[in-house]
Amino acid sequence: MDTIGNALYLGGYGIYVWPAFATAAAVLCWMAVSTVARLRGAERSLDRLRRARAKAAAPGGEAAPAEALNGQGTDP
């Protein structure tokens, strides 16, 4: 327990060192999370548009692809 406390204390510099590492970890995580969110979002809307277009191209289907982005719940 004591050794852990010493390790965290870092000769008194722990109060600067740990926030620095925590900030770096937080920002690096944010980079990954925001990247994945962007990619997912873009790929999902692309899928939806393509499916709507395929439907429109099929005989009988006349749905405008642009609406597919807004009507999220209506997709089968």
Partner 1 sequence: MIHFLANPARFMRIGARVLPWCWAVAALGMGAGLWFALVSSPADYQQGDSVRIMYIHVPSAWMALAVYSLIALVSAMALVWKHPLGYLIGRAAAPLGTGFTVICLVTGALWGQTSWGTWWVWDARLTSVLILFFLYLGYMALASAFDDPDRGNRAAALLAIVGFVNIPIIKFSVDWWSTLHQPASVLRSGGPAIHPSMLTPLVLMAVGFAAYFLALLVLRVRAEIAGRKVAALMMASAMGGAGSNPARRERI
Assess contact for 53 and 65: CB atoms under 8 A.
Answer: yes
Q: Which of 1, 3, 4, 27 binds partner 1 (CB under 8 A)?
A: 27
Q: Annotate 19-45 with b (16+ C-beta within 10 A) or e (fewer).
A: eeeeeeeeeeeeeeeeeeeeeeeeeee
- Note whether 6 binds partner 1 by CB under 8 A: no
Contacts with partner 1 by CB under 8 A: the residue count is 35
- Note whether 50 binds partner 1 by CB under 8 A: yes
Kindly list the residues in this chain that would bind partner 1 in the complex (CB under 8 A): 10-14, 16-17, 19-21, 23-24, 27-28, 30-32, 34-36, 38-39, 41-43, 45-46, 49-50, 53, 56, 64-66, 69
